[in-house]
Amino acid sequence: MVLAALLCGAVMCTGCASAQPRDKGEGALASYRRDMLDEKSRELYGILGAAMAQHEEKVDLGGKYSRDEVYAAFRALKRYDERLFWVDDRFAVTEGDSSAVISYRYDKDTAASMQSEIDAEAASILAGTEDMSEGEKVQHIHDELVLRINYGDGEGENDNDIYGALGLHKCTCQGYAKAFVYLCRQAGIDAMVVEGVARDVGDMAIGDHMWDIVSIDGKYYHIDPTWDDPEDGDRIRYDIYGLDDEEIRRSRTVEEGMPVVDGQAYDWYERNLMCAANADEARDVILRQAEAGEPVLRVRADSKEAADQIEQEILSGFGEGSLAEILSSLGMSYENVSYSFNDTDYIFEIYMM
């Protein structure tokens, strides 16, 4: 037998979520990875997925498929089907390409028990969402993942899968992204994971990264629950929430062949009127939130020039138009106030501590 190279990823067994097409959250995004394959690999995608769902270790291929076609189907399932946490990275095709040999990380009973934990957590998160709009459901899922998960170092056995995210509450970006898709589909919302290379403001590559594309009211949006988790108590960020392709590419590359993402209605900062083209607009945004008693005041600058102006005129110093003056006019103390700046997306967060 020839063993495939180790792969990073996740998919499922009896008592577990089926690896077959879904009746909830099934749409163009849910089938996108499968549809990218050639005809024979798409056929194999269904065959191997059904075998994985039943914990079958050997699948008769009848000599009808090439080794490349088999591996392409396996990689698509293992890497991108969020349900298959029990499938191992080890995979083989026998001599003569007659059979595929699938390895499993857990036996059926263990995987079913783990799936029960996932189901219980999913039910807890989605409780009460039945009457929510699609937009409300998506934000609820995003927020719950941010609040419930701690970022893992990648060394844990389940750091890259939905059991790590929903069972252990510790995972890497893969776990966050796959859990988001899993919950969206449970809620009847179409979504998929997407990959790229994250980079900083100097355009230096940080590393491989995974996040999500989701459909809300028929439009596609980028959402990144990993980067929106500040790992700081009960705070939630919305830096990478509801972005289109142009906006997401400020902070990362996007793998080739992905669907066009051009939705704008759920850009969180636009939707909540927290964008500013200059310091004057930023003052209005900050004042409105301060008057409402928000514990975190947020504003996103439209450009680097606007961000520089906001920082110089509002956040540096104590003169006219400064944050200190704004708070003083409301009878609020400036003492112990601090702020952070996301210099890739030009987002300021002011902490009223």
pLDDT of residue 11: 36
Q: Quick one: 194 and 86 in the same domain?
A: no
**Looking at the structure, do residues 175 and 312 belong to the same domain, yes or no?**
no
Q: Which helix (H) or strand (E) holds 215?
A: strand 205-216
Q: Which ranges of the chain would DSSP assign to H, the alpha helix? A: 32-35, 39-53, 67-80, 108-126, 134-148, 162, 173-186, 245-248, 268-271, 279-291, 304-310, 323-329
137 and 210, same domain (yes or no):
yes
Q: Based on the fold, state whether residues 249 and 335 are members of the same structural domain.
A: no
Distance CA 140, CA 214 (A): 13
**In terms of residue numbers, what domain contains 229?**
112-269
Q: What is the DSSP string of 288-301?
A: HHHHTT-SEEEEEE
* Amino acid present at 78: K
Residues 116 and 265 in one domain: yes
Say what the pTM is. 0.90
Q: Which residue has the tokens 């704004």?
A: 326
Q: What is the CATH number of the domain that holds 159?
A: 3.10.620.30
Residues 221 and 167 in one domain: yes
- Confidence label for 345 from pLDDT (cuts 50, 70 and 90): very high
Q: Are residues 52 and 170 in the same domain?
A: no
Q: 159, 177, 181: which is closest to 168 by C-alpha?
A: 159
Whole-angstrom distance, CA of residue 73 vs CA of residue 7? 13
Q: Contact, 111 vs 12, CB < 8 A?
A: yes
Q: Give the number of domains in the chain.
A: 3
265 shares a domain with 277 = no
Structure token pair of residue 85: 């946490």
Please indicate, yes or no, whether residues 256 and 288 belong to a single structural domain of this protein: no
| Residues listed for the chain | 353
The average pLDDT across 84-109 equals 94
Place of tokens 């459909």: 215
The whole-chain average pLDDT of the chain stands at 91
CA atoms within 13 A on the CB side of 255: 14
Q: Which of 27, 46, 29, 54 is nearest to 177 (CA)?
A: 29
Same domain, 129 and 257: yes
83, 105, 127: which is the final residue of a domain?
A: 105
Tokens of 243: 């972005």
Summarize pLDDT for 140-189 with one digit per residue, the tens.
Answer: 999 999 999 999 988 999 999 999 999 999 999 999 999 999 999 999 99
CA–CA dist 333, 32 (Å, integer): 52
What confidence tier does 96 reach under pLDDT thresholds 50, 70, 90? confident
pLDDT at 132 over 80: yes
Last residue in a domain, options 105, 125, 145: 105
Determine which of 22-36, 71-85, 298-312, 314-328 has the lowest per-residue pLDDT on average.
Answer: 22-36
pLDDT band at 199 (very low <50, low <70, confident <90, very high): confident
In this predicted structure, what is the pLDDT of residue 95?
A: 84
pLDDT at residue 30 above 60?
yes
Q: What dihedral do alpha carbons 80, 226, 312, 314 form, nearest 10°? A: 130
User: End of a domain among 224, 244, 269?
Assistant: 269
pLDDT value of residue 18: 47
pLDDT for residue 26 is more than 80? no
168: CB partners within 8 A, 6+ apart? 156, 158
Distance CA 83, CA 217 (A): 25
What are φ and ψ of residue 56, in 5° steps?
A: -75, 135
Please check the confidence at residue 3 and state whether its pLDDT lies above 60.
no
Whether residue 292 is predicted with pLDDT greater than 90 in this model: the reply is yes
Is the per-residue pLDDT at 23 higher than 80? Answer: no
Instruction: Tell how far CA 41 is from the center of its chain.
Output: 26
Shared domain for 298 and 326, answered yes or no, is: yes
Residues 132 and 246 in one domain: yes
Residue 170's SS3 state is strand
